[in-house]
Structure 1
Amino acid sequence: MSIGRPRDAARDRAILAATLELLAEGGYPALRVDDVARRAGVAKTTIYRRWPSKGEMVLDAIAEQLGDRSTEETGDPLEDLRRLLQVTYERLAETVAGRALPALSAEIMADRALAEEYRRRFVHPLRERARALIHRAVDRGELRGDVDPDLLMDALIGPALYRPIVLGVPAPAASASAIFDLVISGVGHT
């Protein structure tokens, strides 16, 4: 039996929106729970009842904004992989959460438990889906049999992280298709 008032979904949304706004303004190191509470119009205790740490609150805010990253399968594993890459680049380039995620990744990695949660929620599902598509493409003879699915995924997604973290410039969503063509041409049978 639950005691007390039910959680107010509008408060949750306000807190997550404030988290993203402040993340965009100052980055993860500058993000303070006090500021989120003030911006969301809630008490700090309201936040701590929902999230035990700043990092977990940020992960929920990112997940909320990135939304479902799945794509409908077409039956063509390479086309499905291209579409998965396109959705990933779009979310990274076109959302506050996506633009903050590469830099935030470095901050999160300092906290072992939070890093594992980050990988569980954002990295592993993408890699598992891509790995399955790559295996199907190999089975159909569309990719060489010696292709390392993990290395191929690293090569495909790497520019989306390298450009903002190392070069300080965004990886435009439009570049996903060109990167896909470039990388796949090196491991295909053409």
Structure 2
Amino acid sequence: MRGRPRDPETDTAILRAALDLFIEGGVEGASIEQIARRAGVARLTVYRRWASKELLLAQAIEFGRDSFLSPADALAMFAEGEVTRAKLVEIMVLAVSDDRFRRLIGRLAGAATDHPELMRAYAENYVRPRKDIAMRLLRLLREHGELPAELDLEMLLESLAGVVTYLMLMEPARHEPEQARAYLNRFLDMVVSPARTSNPG
């Protein structure tokens, strides 16, 4: 006999509580007991849904990313009107200029060394599928002539991820949209322009 279906509102409350506690205090500040109390549910309710705290936090982190800008939202930005490099830059500018998102990424970066199991769960369950979507965006840009055909898109994606993380964590003076936009465009010009340079006639 099948049990009662899961309540989506309960799932959302738990994920939001886990995300808030993770942003506030990192992994150590987000125990299952604290998450359950913040969400207003029993600990057993949490354990029934997630096999470990690491899996819960990994999904909560992605819940936070998706509530900010989901992969579907990113694809929709490209589907609406022209497919341009400027739209790619705007997606990154949104990330850099959002204070709560920056705090989330800072906590995630801080957990990398001491909590490899969390990073492993996050990479396997959430990063890889979303990397595929990001590659689709870059291929669309290449198909529309916004990126050179010979450019290594996977390397570009990894470089952009590094640059955005650097801006969020190490460059507070460039958190404003105008400064972030200028910096990201400079980076793309540096990466893309040499590939487009033709021999003088």
Q: How does 1:122-161 map to 2 (within 5 A)?
A: 122-126=130-134, 128-137=135-144, 140=145, 142-161=146-165
> For the residues of structure 2 that align with 1:102 and 1:130, how far apart are their CA atoms?
25
Deviation digits for residues 153-179 of structure 1 (CA, Å, limit 9, x no counterpart): 3333323212455x4859626144223
Provide structure 1 residue ranges, at least 5 long, that are not aligned to the other structure: none
Q: Which residue of 1 aligns with 2:89?
A: 82
Aligned length: 181
Matches of 1:150 and 1:133, distance apart in 2: 14
TM-score (normalizing by structure 1): 0.75
Give the letter aligned to residue 23 of structure 2: A
**TM-score, normalised with respect to structure 2:** 0.71
SS at match of 1:22: helix
- The 1:58/1:31 distance shift into structure 2, 3 A limit, reads same
Q: Aligned-residue CA RMSD in angstroms?
A: 3.0
Q: Which runs of 5+ in 2 are unaligned?
A: none
Once the two structures are overlaid, the 10-residue window that deviates more, 53-62 or 102-111, is: 102-111
For 2:180 and 2:15, locate their aligned partners in 1 and report how far apart those are by CA, in whole Å.
Answer: 28
Separation in 2 of the partners of 1:171 and 1:12? 36
1:170-185 → structure 2 map (5 Å cutoff): 172=175, 174=177, 175-185=179-189
Letter in 2 for 1:34: E
Deviation at 1:104, TM superposition (A): 1.7
Question: SS at the partner of 1:72?
Answer: helix
* Residue 16 of structure 1: aligned partner: 15
* Greater helix proportion: 2
Structure 2: how far apart are the matches of 1:123 and 1:171?
25
On the 8 A contact 1:130/1:153 being kept in 2, the answer is no
